[in-house]
Chain A
Amino acid sequence: MKTALSGNEAVAYAMKQINPDVMGAFPITPSTEIPEYFAQYVADGVVTTEFVTTESEHSSMSVCIAASAAGARSVCATSSCGLALMHEMLYVAASSRLPIVLACVNRALSGPININNDHSDSMGSRDAGWIQIYAENNQEAYDNFIMSFLIGETPQVRLPVMACMDGFITSHAVENIELLDTEVVQGFVGTYEPEHYLLKKENPLAVGPYDLSAFYMEHKVMQAEAIRASKARILQVAENLAAISGRHYGLIECHQMEDAELALVLIGSSAGTAKASVDELRQMGQKVGLVKVRVFRPFPAEELAEALYHTKAVAVLDKAESFSGCGGPLFAETRSALYDLPQRPQLINLVYGLGGRDFTTESARSVFERLAQIAETGETGPRYAHMGQRTRGSAT
């Protein structure tokens, strides 16, 4: 069905179609609309989910963890400080191997408090053990959310999944979208049938032990193996979705990369903006391209190396600071992914768009201009810089 929805409404609609067992809910801008839409579905009796309106995001994640361990398919949504408040529990969810699906509507972290988009919230959780999938637009937000269940719940994975979209830019902007029929979605995700769960009559289960040094390491290695195994599963689920929707998704998306000499690597809605610039520059005969990272955890290192090995100069655009003093998180991991190549492109890092600072086609073009200079002269200049900010001292 073709319609027009905001990203939040698309995800809420996917939740309605899936009709999960339990939802933990707590409001925070810009994800608030998701539990709002869902509350109406509950009131209208069109879902039979147990809708638990908690007193904090910490408790909404705790509810999801417990419900998932009890055998229930569990979902929630949050943003920014809400995700930060869940931080401790995100690790518990992943290490307890509970396939919760969380809609993360990306927003800058405090402080100072800011409600607009960047990726500092989910990048802060990147090592919590969750699979992270980022959407460029509403269609992807909807599709990723639906795929997340099949990815996380599969026995060789059994991990929680964070389906991310950019706050306001994607969550609130209304775009054309193609929705699947509810029966198709329900057939696609099936029901959640875990092997062991707290409410199973035949065999009581204990979850969340005190784990001494005799076993902790083994448990962490199993978790690491699970996230590695998820890579193949993500691709398999994407193929299954393609079969019913005609929409194709990979771990990364390459745009005009075949013979590209200059490339951008970036995440989320800015990819749509940058694609327009790429196409424009291509028309002018420039060999430019773009790699959109859809899945950040597990990190698509081999895929990025494969996509970038033939380029001359690459700019990695980070929508989050990691305050390492030498680049953002996407840059650090992309550079590491290229290290084993016999020949590597020149790489620079630009941190952009923090707290909702605009990223335009002009911004993307200016990055390509710089890349062209680097390719020509071999001089990279500063490898790590910020873009789009006023210079110090200028008030406007």
Chain B
Amino acid sequence: MSTIYNLKREAAKPPRLTGGHRLCAGCGAGIAVSGVLRALEPEDRAVVVNATGCLEVSTFMYPYTAYTDSFIHSAFENAGATCSGVEAAYRALKRRNKVDGTVKFITFAGDGGTYDIGFQSLSGAMERGHDMVYVCYDNEAYMNTGIQRSSSTPMFARTTTSAVGPAQSGKIQPKKDITDILVSHNVVYAAQTAPIGTMKDLHTKSHKAIYTEGPCFLNILAPCPRGWDYPMELLPELVQLAVDTCIWPLYEVEEGEWRITYMPKKKLPVKEFFRVQGRFRHMFQKGNEWMLEEAQAHVDQKWERLRERADL
């Protein structure tokens, strides 16, 4: 099992999330999921768990599944418990010699299923210490129901339930820091990543999460062309901007040690990221300069805090 990343080798592996699924063109979720699953060693099996959401309804529409591995979805708010149940069954059946080989357990849920409605179930699963990876594909709103705000939606973003009008300018509250909360659960490995460049960061962290024993958490930025309102071909550039503005810093926390895994050559102003998305359009109207300033100050403060924690 080589840990040195080789794009050619990884790309040559047969995909475990196969084509034919019904996710939108320009969606980050499918790329995130196939990137995580590619980190599985070919000889290992997996059970993939989904919370209800875009990913689930697009990848397992009866009678077709896009996964080559076993898969289970049962509800929106219980992806953590569902993965716990499969893992518990594995332990029990292993003990009784009723299951062969190595099986890995990977859960995918959107930000709604992770930050909000599935939070309790996730917290319970992590506290109990199941050997599993919980992956949040974070597109910063309830996209499957038509773009409603979640606690992951950033401040000022327009959604259908954080509207823009004379009395309100998008979401009032800042984004919840779920990765930090998961770090506080003392999980063995927590990381924030994104599908950028050669996918090295995503791959390396996924491999580590899958092959580190115990509960691991990955938060992956997964832009949504419908909800964020960007041209679909802009996806890679948009993710790169999120990382280079430090709106979505890439880092990992292992045994309490924080490590920034990507330092932008030049930290870009947040408006570079906002400018290409319809959900932030109102921030560029005359008189709304304060929104950009406030958003910049918020990101700067978070980034400084992260640098301190990483001892930089």
**Interface set of A (CB-CB < 8 Å, partner B):** 21-22, 24, 48-50, 52-56, 58-60, 62-72, 74, 88-89, 92, 96, 198-201, 204-212, 215
Report the minimal beta-carbon distance from B158 to chain A, rounded to whole angstroms: 28
Hey, which chain A residues are within 8 Å of B89, CB to CB?
21-22, 50, 66-68, 70-72, 74, 198-199
Is the Cβ of B63 less than 8 Å from the Cβ of A215?
Answer: yes
A55 to B71, CA, bound (A): 24
Q: Does B197 contact A (CB under 8 A)?
A: no
Is the Cβ of A66 less than 8 Å from the Cβ of B82?
Answer: yes
Interface code B63-76, partner A: CB below 8 Å = 1, 0 otherwise?
A: 10101111111110
Q: Does B179 contact A (CB under 8 A)?
A: no
Chain A residue with the shortest CB-CB distance to B69: A204
Is the Cβ of A198 less than 8 Å from the Cβ of B78?
Answer: no
Q: A70-B85, A210-B56 are in contact. List 5 more A-B contacts (CB 8 A).
A: A66-B82, A66-B83, A66-B89, A70-B90, A72-B88
**Of A55, A92, A205, the contact of B120 (CB 8 Å cutoff):** A55
**Of B70, B85, B103, B127, the contact of A62 (CB 8 Å cutoff):** B85
A66 to B48, CA, bound (A): 11
30 inter-chain pairs at a CB distance below 8 angstroms, sorted by A residue, are A22-B85, A50-B89, A50-B92, A52-B85, A52-B88, A54-B84, A55-B123, A56-B120, A59-B78, A59-B124, A62-B81, A63-B85, A64-B85, A66-B84, A66-B85, A69-B72, A74-B85, A89-B75, A92-B75, A198-B47, A199-B86, A199-B90, A201-B101, A207-B73, A207-B74, A209-B73, A210-B60, A210-B62, A212-B62, A215-B63
Hey, which chain B residues are within 8 Å of A58, CB to CB?
77-78, 81, 121
Report the minimal beta-carbon distance from B40 to chain A, rounded to whole angstroms: 13
Is the Cβ of A21 less than 8 Å from the Cβ of B92?
Answer: yes
Listed residue (B89, B96, B98) with the most chain A CB atoms within 10 angstroms of its CB = B89
For the complex of A and B, the 9 pairs showing the least CB-CB separation, nearest first, are A66-B85, A55-B124, A70-B89, A72-B89, A59-B81, A62-B81, A63-B85, A209-B62, A208-B73
Hey, which chain A residues are within 8 Å of B25, CB to CB?
none
Hey, which chain A residues are within 8 Å of B83, CB to CB?
66
Q: Does B7 contact A (CB under 8 A)?
A: no
Interface code B109-130, partner A: CB below 8 Å = 1, 0 otherwise?
A: 0000000000011011001100
**Of B61, B86, B99, the contact of A66 (CB 8 Å cutoff):** B86
Listed residue (B68, B73, B88) with the most chain A CB atoms within 10 angstroms of its CB = B88
Hey, which chain A residues are within 8 Å of B226, CB to CB?
none
A207 to B48, CA, bound (A): 10
Report the minimal beta-carbon distance from B120 to chain A, rounded to whole angstroms: 6
Hey, which chain A residues are within 8 Å of B47, CB to CB?
70, 198-199
Report the minimal beta-carbon distance from B97 to chain A, rounded to whole angstroms: 11
Hey, which chain B residues are within 8 Å of A71, CB to CB?
89, 93, 98-99
Chain B residue with the shortest CB-CB distance to A21: B92
A142 to B32, CA, bound (A): 49
- Evaluate whether A72 and B92 lie within 8 angstroms (CB atoms) in the complex, with A92-B74, A201-B101, A209-B63 already known: yes
Hey, which chain B residues are within 8 Å of A210, CB to CB?
56-57, 60-62
Hey, which chain A residues are within 8 Å of B84, CB to CB?
52, 54, 59, 62-63, 66
A63 to B67, CA, bound (A): 22
Chain B residue with the shortest CB-CB distance to A60: B81
A205 to B49, CA, bound (A): 12
Report the minimal beta-carbon distance from A304 to chain B, rounded to whole angstroms: 35
Chain A residue with the shortest CB-CB distance to B100: A201
Interface residues of B in 106-154 (CB under 8 A from A): 120-121, 123-124, 127-128
Is the Cβ of A48 less than 8 Å from the Cβ of B92?
Answer: yes
Interface residues of B in 26-71 (CB under 8 A from A): 45, 47, 49, 56-57, 60-63, 65, 67-71
Hey, which chain B residues are within 8 Å of A21, CB to CB?
89, 92-93, 96
A190 to B57, CA, bound (A): 37
- Evaluate whether A67 and B86 lie within 8 angstroms (CB atoms) in the complex, with A49-B92, A54-B124, A215-B62 already known: yes
Q: Does B91 contact A (CB under 8 A)?
A: yes
A69 to B78, CA, bound (A): 15
Chain B residue with the shortest CB-CB distance to A202: B100
Chain A residue with the shortest CB-CB distance to B130: A52
Report the minimal beta-carbon distance from A291 to chain B, rounded to whole angstroms: 38
Q: Does B9 contact A (CB under 8 A)?
A: no
Is the Cβ of A62 less than 8 Å from the Cβ of B78?
Answer: yes
A74 to B85, CA, bound (A): 10
Q: Does B266 contact A (CB under 8 A)?
A: no
Hey, which chain B residues are within 8 Å of A211, CB to CB?
62
**Of B63, B67, B88, B123, the contact of A67 (CB 8 Å cutoff):** B88
A207 to B50, CA, bound (A): 10
A66 to B85, CA, bound (A): 5
